Amino acid sequence: MRPRGRRPGGADTRAAIVEAARTEFAAQGYDATSLRGIARAAGVDPALVHHYFGGKPEVFAEVMSIPVDLASLVGGVVSSPRDQVGEVMVRTFLHVWDSADGRLRFQALVRSAVSHEEAARMLREFLVREVFGKVSAAFAAREGHPGVELRAALAAGQMVGMAMLRYVLEFPVVVDSSQEELVAELGPVLQKYLAP
């Protein structure tokens, strides 16, 4: 989508919004930050923040350099056929992170989470609110059994841990595995967690 009509400063304005958002998220966490607050800090109209980014998850993704259209990825996992959800989740994860760039971004995320308490907090709130909350809510509604929230988190943990071995510690056997080999091993595990 291109900015329409009068453009108050284009790239500069966009950068100012991202900078203001970075400060707001770090100071208040993800949940307590609003688009309105970000706009105020950036000295722009809230409609402009909405115009440039869409919503709060998209601003956050930009701040954290998470290179994805998160809503459509989460939507894709949640709406996948029940018996394919494990495989879809693995493929989606590898699609996002399995590139030289993704690898560096994953490292950067882990580095900031482990070095700054406020980064861990905003990342946690974002992931719980926008990713795992949505996934586990969808499966709780579908499956209707208790413990689905913990199992959704452990499924996420499986992928985070695989990524630690593939992108950070670089375990040879994990680095050398193809995406298909990983899907074949991890898909059934995630399937069992989410929709046994």
- Cα–Cα distance between 167 and 171 in angstroms, integer? 9
- Residues in contact with 67: Cβ distance below 8 Å, sequence separation at least 6, in sequence order: 61, 96, 101, 102, 105
> How far apart are CB 46 and its own copies at their closest, in Å?
30
Q: Which residues bind its own copies (CB under 8 A)?
A: 107, 110-111, 113-115, 120, 123-124, 127-128, 132, 147, 149-151, 153-154, 156-165, 168-174, 177, 181, 185-186, 189, 192-193
Q: Which residues contact 49 (CB under 8 A, 6 or more apart)?
A: 17, 35, 38, 39, 42, 59
CB of 162 to its own copies, least distance (A): 4
Alpha helices (H) in the chain, listed in sequence order: 10-28, 35-42, 46-53, 56-63, 70-78, 85-97, 100-115, 117-126, 133-143, 148-163, 172-175, 179-194
Q: Shortest approach of its own copies to residue 128 CB, angstroms?
A: 7
Q: CB of residue 36 vs its own copies: minimum separation in angstroms?
A: 26
In the bound state with its own copies, the residue whose beta carbon lies nearer, of 16 and 189, is 189
110 neighbors 64 (Cβ within 8 angstroms): no
Q: Which CB sits closer to its own copies, 121 or 142?
A: 121
Q: Closest approach of Cβ 81 to its own copies, in Å?
A: 22
Q: Which is nearer to its own copies, 11 or 173 (CB)?
A: 173
188: its two tokens? 């059934």
Select 32 or 150, whichever has its Cβ closest to its own copies: 150
Cβ closest to its own copies, residue 79 vs residue 179: 179
